[in-house]
Chains A and B, each alone.
Chain A
């Protein structure tokens, strides 16, 4: 195998025993490559001498001490982690329990408020109905006495309104919380109140004549 200066570097790059033998063989025939090869080997020889060993009695005890500290730290850290996990679990559990209790209380409060508001509405309705019934008793006397066609038509209208009230009331009994039905009932009662007032006015006007 012929080695030239051009592929001398390739041998140094390969660096194995065979390549170095070929490089040495070429260096014997070429001064420039011989100088390069000598420096190359000089570096390697010097480098090998840099391997340094020394005895130290202190290093292993130091490492042992540090490892013991590290083990203790690890144990403490693990204990802290477990404690933190327990505290977190208790905290989250307590928080969840508290939230559930609060939402239950709030639902109970809301139900109470709703029921009391409904009672208030019903009380107001009953008072209103009682007042209209009282007015009806007074107006009925006038309706019975008068035979005019106007009073007859008022009488018929009041009968229709009573039917509507009875129907509304039946529906409300089925669904107490339906605000729409209550509004309808109120409208019918208002109409009845207006009609009774008109009856009272007409009755007074007729008696004056």
Chain B
């Protein structure tokens, strides 16, 4: 299991507050203030640091490249609009990913209203896969199964299994407890396991 930490830093839950954490919070507040002022250099840095993962998360929620890119674009606009309300309670990275996940939920709801079918096999031509040996059929099956999951289950599974975030980070992004995140992942995998066997 990969234990990734986002660039820009997630503050770990239940750990003592260090001098570095405090400095990080000040940095995050400065970044948020610059975003609120519309500083394009700061936005460019955020894009450089987070866009790859943001696109992947959005893609694994929405299923198409176009929708994923739209969601990332919308997230940047929301960051600009809401940066002045950032309080520093969570790290700036957590806050960004929370906005992204909510933007994906909005897009999914809109899509459900329009009763559109997402094209699940719309994989970008230049896509780099971390494990090219895994069977494409399995990947397609898993994507289809994920598409049927409720929003929160899908987010926990995507963030943990696909993006390699820790339960502490997921809890912070989705505003749930760490234990809750573990339980959601376990029950989601159980559910997928049943369907996986049938395929």
By a beta-carbon cutoff of 8 Å, the part of chain A in contact with chain B is 9, 12-15, 17, 20, 36, 39-40, 42-56, 59-60, 62-64, 66-67, 70-71, 74
Whether A71 contacts B44 by the Cβ 8 Å rule is: no
User: B186: which of A12, A52, A53 is its contact (CB, 8 Å)?
Assistant: A12
Does chain A have a CB within 8 A of B17?
no
Whether B182 contacts A70 by the Cβ 8 Å rule is: no
Whether B139 contacts A49 by the Cβ 8 Å rule is: yes
List 30 A-B residue pairs with CB atoms under 8 Å apart, sorted by A's residue number. A13-B183, A15-B182, A15-B186, A20-B1, A39-B196, A43-B161, A44-B161, A44-B189, A45-B131, A46-B141, A47-B157, A49-B129, A49-B131, A51-B130, A52-B55, A52-B56, A52-B60, A52-B123, A52-B128, A54-B127, A54-B128, A59-B51, A60-B44, A63-B72, A63-B76, A67-B43, A67-B76, A70-B38, A71-B80, A74-B38
The size class of the interface chain B forms with chain A is 35 or more
The CA of A17 and the CA of B166, in the complex, are separated in Å by: 13
The CA of A54 and the CA of B55, in the complex, are separated in Å by: 8
Residues in chain A near residue B162, CB distance under 8 A: 47-48, 50-51
Whether B143 contacts A50 by the Cβ 8 Å rule is: yes
Whether B55 contacts A48 by the Cβ 8 Å rule is: no
Whether A53 contacts B76 by the Cβ 8 Å rule is: no
- 5 more CB-based (< 8 A) A-B contacts, given A54-B124, A60-B51, A70-B80: A45-B131, A49-B139, A52-B123, A67-B76, A67-B77
A17, A59, A62, A74: residue with the most chain B Cβ atoms closer than 10 Å: A59
When A and B form their complex, what is the total count of cross-chain residue pairs whose Cβ atoms lie within 8 Å?
124
Chain A, interface SS category: helix
Given A15-B182, A46-B134, CB of A52 within 8 Å of CB of B1:
no
The CA of A59 and the CA of B72, in the complex, are separated in Å by: 9
Whether A63 contacts B60 by the Cβ 8 Å rule is: no
The CA of A54 and the CA of B128, in the complex, are separated in Å by: 6
- Minimum CB distance partner of B35 in chain A: A67
Residues in chain A near residue B189, CB distance under 8 A: 12, 40, 43-44
Whole-angstrom distance between the Cβ of A44 and the nearest chain B Cβ: 6
Whether B38 contacts A42 by the Cβ 8 Å rule is: no
Given A50-B143, A54-B127, A67-B40, CB of A42 within 8 Å of CB of B76:
no
Given A66-B73, A67-B76, CB of A13 within 8 Å of CB of B182:
yes
- Minimum CB distance partner of A14 in chain B: B182
User: B52: which of A15, A20, A53, A70 is its contact (CB, 8 Å)?
Assistant: A53
Whole-angstrom distance between the Cβ of B13 and the nearest chain A Cβ: 15
User: A43: which of B69, B132, B192 is its contact (CB, 8 Å)?
Assistant: B192
Does chain A have a CB within 8 A of B10?
no
Whether B142 contacts A67 by the Cβ 8 Å rule is: no
Whether B59 contacts A52 by the Cβ 8 Å rule is: yes
The CA of A60 and the CA of B54, in the complex, are separated in Å by: 13
Whether B2 contacts A48 by the Cβ 8 Å rule is: yes
Whether A54 contacts B65 by the Cβ 8 Å rule is: yes
